[in-house]
Amino acid sequence: MSDNPTPARPTQPFRIGHGYDLHRLEPRPPAGHGKPLVVGGVTLDHGLGPIAHSDGDALLHAVTDALLGAIAQPDIGQLFPNTDPRHESQDSAVFLEEAARRVRAANYDILNLDATVILEQPKLGPVKAQIRARIAQLLAIDESQVNIKGKTHEGVDAVGEGRAIETHAVVLIARRI
Ligand SMILES: [Zn+2]
């Protein structure tokens, strides 16, 4: 795995991290090049899917960047370049687990994660609990430390027209005493 120079080891008792992602959605083959729509490690039944080098899991990408951002480390695109053939259709769980490993290696624990998925269709409600459980499992934390919100974009702009999925994530980490 490519790696960047490690920045100075953070020492603050609490640190916050923010992550954002967006993937364009296209029809699934043969009509388009959309991959299966995976959100938070859960595959949704939908006629559209993300254009991506990896599996295009926008939620896991935002959470990964939030974790890496909290410890001031290089972002997901720097750690896992989309020019690297090893990441072709990669399960994004690999990225998230590496980010969580780095947080722990920096001597921090994850306190909580709050994330928002903006997706016009399908509705996230029926799978929210499953997504929450999967992310908690990947981060080795309790489900009570993970919150996932689903929103639509009210039919406006590309996200509202169903042509993209957008995600935001915030994490709080605490230095191990
Ligand atoms: Zn992404």
Q: Residue 101 pLDDT > 90, yes or no? A: yes
Mean pLDDT of 38-45: 97
When pLDDT is cut at 50, 70 and 90, the band that residue 7 belongs to is low
When pLDDT is cut at 50, 70 and 90, the band that residue 82 belongs to is confident
Least confident of 9-13, 59-63, 70-74: 9-13
Measured in Å, residue 172 CA sits from the centre of ligand 1 at 21
State what percent of residues in the chain have pLDDT above 70: 95
DSSP one-letter string for 87-150: GTT--THHHHHHHHHHHHHTTEEEEEEEEEEE-SSS-SGGGHHHHHHHHHHHHTS-GGGEEEEE
CA pair distance 120, 131, nearest whole angstrom: 17
- Residue with the bigger pLDDT between 45 and 82: it is 45
Measured in Å, residue 166 CA sits from the centre of ligand 1 at 9
Measured in Å, residue 34 CA sits from the centre of ligand 1 at 13
Note residues around ion ligand 1 (Cβ under 5 angstroms). 21, 61
Q: Which two tokens stand for residue 25?
A: 């959605």
Cα dihedral 130, 133, 134, 135, rounded to 10, equals: 120
| Claim: this prediction has a pTM higher than 0.85 | yes
